A = this chain, B = another copy of it.
Amino acid sequence: MRNSIQREVERFLSPAFRTIQWKGDHLVLLDQRRLPKDEVYLELRTPEEVASAIRDLVVRGAPAIGVTAAMGMALAARSARTRGTKEFLESLDKHYHLLMRSRPTAVNLRWALERQRRRIEALAGSDPDEIQAALEEEALRIFEEDVLTNVAIGEHGAQVVPSDACILTHCNAGALATAGYGTALGVVRSAYRQGKVQMVFADETRPFLQGSRLTAWELQKDGIPVTVITDNMAGHFLQRGEITLIIVGADRIAQNGDVANKIGTYSLAVLAKENQVPFYVAAPLSTFDGTLESGDRIPIEERNGEEVLLWEDMRLAPAGVTARYPAFDITPNQLITGIITEKGVIRPPLKERIRKLLVEE
C-alpha cells in the first residue's frame, strides 16, 4: 500500500528537482533564496534548523511550510527519543510551539502541526520510539497527500481553463510551494498537458521575486511557456485583453471565502473584476481556517522594510529612507470567481458552500 502510494506520488514529482526530501534522520530542502542562480540543497537535522529555514524563506508556500513543519516534528522526536517519556513529551511540546511561531500567515503550518499533535495524543502511554515512528509516518503521509491533493486540484482546475488560455499567476504556487506539482501551477500543469495553455504570465512578485525567480524557473524546467512581467504591468495586459484568466494560490482562507495570499493578490482581483476576467484561487482544504469568520481576522505578517530596499547587497533607495513590507493581503470573497480544491471548484455563494465542505470534512 505504502509502496504503491509512493510510486503514484513519484509520477507527479518533477524529474528535474525536489523541493522537500525526507531522508529518515534528516530533511533536505532546495534553498529557494538562491534560485534561479544556484540550485543548492540544505540538510536539516534539528527542529531548530527547520524553524529557521521556514522563517528565513529557504522554503515558502503554505503547503510546503506545512509539510516541512511536520517533518520538523519527526526530527524533534528523533533527537529526544533517548530521554525519559516526560522529558521527551516536553521536548516535543517545546518544538511544536517553536515551529508554530516560525511564520504567522500560512494556516497549513498550524494544520500540519496539529495533525502531529493529535498523533502524539493518540499514543499517550506509548514509548518514545513508537511516537517517533508515528510522527515520521504522519509527516510522510502529509507529504504524499499534499502531492495527490495538488494533482486533484490540477485536474479540477483544468476544467475551468479554456483552450488557448493565457494564464496570469502571482508569486509561486507551484511545485516549489508544495510537496510537488503545485496548486495554481498544478492547474497550469494539468491544463498544459491537455493542450490548453498558450502562455503563462508570471508576475515577478516583489520584493522576494518568487515569480521571476521561482515560477519562471520551475515552468522552464517543465517546458511550459512563461513570460515574466513586473507586478505593475498586470493591469495593462488585462486591459488589453491579453489575459484569459488569473489563478493564484492561498496562504489562508476564512470561512466566508476571504483569501490571504502574497501581497499584490488583492490588486489582481480588483483588476480582474474591472476587466471581467475570471479570478480563481487554487488551494487544498488544509488552507481553510474553520476558526475565522472573515479575512479581517487573518494575521498579516509585516516583514522588515529593509527587504524592500535591498537586493542582495545592493541598496535600491537612498540610505535612511524607510519602507513597509506587508507580506500578504486579503482578497474579499466577492472578487473571487471560484476556489479550486481537491474536492472540486467552490463557486459563489462561497460562504455557504465552504461551510458545507468543512462540515463534510
Contacts and interface: CB of A to CB of B under 8 A. Distances in A.
Interface of A: 36-37, 170, 203-207, 209, 212-213, 216-217, 220, 226-237, 239, 263-264, 266-267, 270-271, 273-274, 305, 308-309, 311-312, 314-318, 320-326, 329-330
B316 A204 contact: yes
Q: How many copies does the complex hold?
A: 2
A36 B320 CA distance: 12
B323 A220 contact: no
A267 B236 CA distance: 8
Q: Interface majority SS on A: helix, strand, loop or mixed?
A: mixed
Contacts of A203: 232
Nearest to A218: B318
A143 B139 CA distance: 68
A232 B220 contact: no
6 contacts: A36-B317, A206-B206, A228-B309, A236-B263, A239-B266, A273-B274
B316 A239 contact: no
6 nearest A-B residue pairs (beta carbon): A232-B264, A235-B267, A206-B230, A36-B318, A231-B232, A212-B317
Nearest to A229: B324
Nearest to A307: B230
Nearest to A233: B263
Contacts of A330: 239
B209 A316 contact: yes
A299 to B, nearest CB: 14
Contacts of A36: 315, 317-318
B229 A316 contact: no
